[in-house]
Structure 1
Amino acid sequence: MAEILALAGSNSSTSINYELIRYTTSLIEGHEIQVLNMAQYPFSMYSEDEERQKGFSNSLIELKNDIQKAKGVVLSVNEHNGNPSAYFKNVIDWLSRLERKFFQDTFVFLMSASRGKRGGVGSLQVLEALLPRFGAEVVTTFSLPSFQENFEKGTIVSSDLQLAHQDALNRFLEKLT
């Protein structure tokens, strides 16, 4: 049994990526799972001045510890203009200042949900290339496009997308054992 941390890279209280996280974690059995709602984690915009004056918040230290305690992380990221949201990029900036290899020896299942037809692919590509710099091993990715059409009542309704999601999740879980 491996410990899994699951979170969306969005601070929106109505995050579709958080909905995808909740769906994904509902399919996982035999592992201890901690789900974080990042809407409850306000972080100020990173600046060297703030770091010098105030240091690192308890929330940031707890988040880093949660990441490092987990063997695997299920992460679903939103996309703004083809990139990860400013919020999530800011979280990465803070974490990397606290400890550069904050994802060291951590397996990641990287996902994105989007209302658009591209499914947050731009954000996935950026983070798939970026996260290994902090020690992560991105095991697999999954993109859920056209969220309103493909996700209803807490589940993926497209059978093709449902199979692709389950296959990606299985590959991630196999890596944890």
Structure 2
Amino acid sequence: MSEPILLGLSGSLRQNATNRRLIREAARLFGAGTFIEADLNLPLYDGDAEEADGIPAEVQILADQIAGAHAVVISTPEYNKGPSGVLKNALDWVSRTKGNPWADKPVAVMSAAAGRAGGERAQMILRSFMVPFQPRILQGPEIHLADSSNEFDDAGRLRSDRYERTLGQLMEKLRAEAGF
């Protein structure tokens, strides 16, 4: 059997965002395999632009990465009580590509946010955004990383054994769901 390919999507574009750190920690705990961090720095969805120019190359790359991955982890910040526009825009663009790269794909959803709820509302909304794509979204254990800027050490590792243990359990379930 080949090594698994894990794709990570962070709803934040900042290089050192806590959601990027969280998907990187998820990849570490997922274990052996190839980890690809998706680039969600895409143009804003515009139906007129799509009609005139077709699907942008960077959107097709993302759709192909989703289709080629054995499993996907998505981490969203919480902006104004919802997921980031960056993440919603990426989902909207990918929905316009041929086929459905999300269909039956094992997906783990998590969130990291400054607030005490750790992005719980954003994660709930993100889960509802995913319904039309029909992936296999794991139901838990849930990861809502609160006060996220204080939850990583200088090496980008989670400080809390509790969060690391829970994320490890989620990645173990994701790996099994992907057949590895």
Could you state the TM-score of these two structures normalised by the residue count of structure 1?
0.89
Residues 132 and 138 in structure 1, CA contact (< 8 A), matched pair in contact too = no
Post-superposition offset of 1:112: 0.8
Structure ranking higher in helix proportion: 1
Displaced runs of 4+ in structure 1, greater than 3 A? Answer: none
Measured on the aligned residues, the alpha-carbon RMSD in Å equals: 1.7
The 3 A distance-change label for structure 1 pair 100 and 79 is farther
Q: Distance in 1 between matches of 2:94 and 2:25?
A: 26
Aligned length: 174
Q: Name stretches of at least 5 consecutive residues in structure 2 with no aligned partner.
A: none
Which residues in structure 2 correspond to 1:1-177 (within 5 Å)? 1-36=3-38, 38=39, 41-99=40-98, 101-139=100-138, 140=140, 141-153=142-154, 154-177=156-179
1:138-163: CA deviation from partner (whole Å, max 9, x where unpaired): 11342111113322221221222222
Residues 100 and 134 in structure 1, CA contact (< 8 A), matched pair in contact too = no
Residues 71 and 105 in structure 1, CA contact (< 8 A), matched pair in contact too = no
Q: Distance in 1 between matches of 2:54 and 2:22?
A: 33
Percent of residue pairs identical: 25
Q: Distance in 1 between matches of 2:152 and 2:30?
A: 18
Q: Secondary structure at the match of 1:80?
A: coil
AA at the equivalent of 2:105: T
Residues 7 and 35 in structure 1, CA contact (< 8 A), matched pair in contact too = yes
Structure ranking higher in strand proportion: 1
Q: Name stretches of at least 5 consecutive residues in structure 1 with no aligned partner.
A: none
AA at the equivalent of 1:168: L
Post-superposition offset of 1:134: 0.8
The 3 A distance-change label for structure 1 pair 29 and 158 is closer
1:43-93: CA deviation from partner (whole Å, max 9, x where unpaired): 222121111112111111111001001120011111211111111111111
Q: Secondary structure at the match of 2:95?
A: helix
AA at the equivalent of 2:67: Q
Post-superposition offset of 1:32: 2.6
